[in-house]
Amino acid sequence: MDKDLPSHFKVPFAIEVYKAYPRDFFQRGRVRVLLKKEDGTPYNPVISTRKQLMLRVAELVPRHPGRTKKQEPASTSSGPAKSGKHGKKKR
């Protein structure tokens, strides 16, 4: 997620690089987001709950520059395509 999405929503956040989930220890890092001010009002009026934040992030992830697929030229194969269906023959 990097720093792009929390800053896009204009909410304060902190990246905790050394945090890990116990069941998947090798997936390192966590982003903490502060949704509400001390008086209880949201920083961004569009996002007031964690669920709303996740839905907004899910909308933006496919359009993130790091996720877009680059167009590759079509490769030509140098032979006929083989079918993968070869079973036992009946006797």
The secondary structure of 11-59 as a DSSP string is --EEEEEEEEETTEEEEEEEEEE--B-TTS-BSBTTB-SHHHHHHHHHH
**Percentage of residues in the chain having pLDDT higher than 70:** 74
Taken in order of first residue, the domains within the chain and their CATH numbers are 4-63 (3.30.56.30)
- Read off the pLDDT of residues 43-79 as tens digits, 9 standing for 90 and up: 888 888 889 888 888 888 887 777 776 655 555 555 5
9 has pLDDT over 70: yes
Whole-model pTM: value is 0.55
The token pair at 35 is 């949704």
- Read off the pLDDT of residues 13-37 as tens digits, 9 standing for 90 and up: 888 888 887 788 788 888 888 888 8
Distance CA 58, CA 3 (A): 15
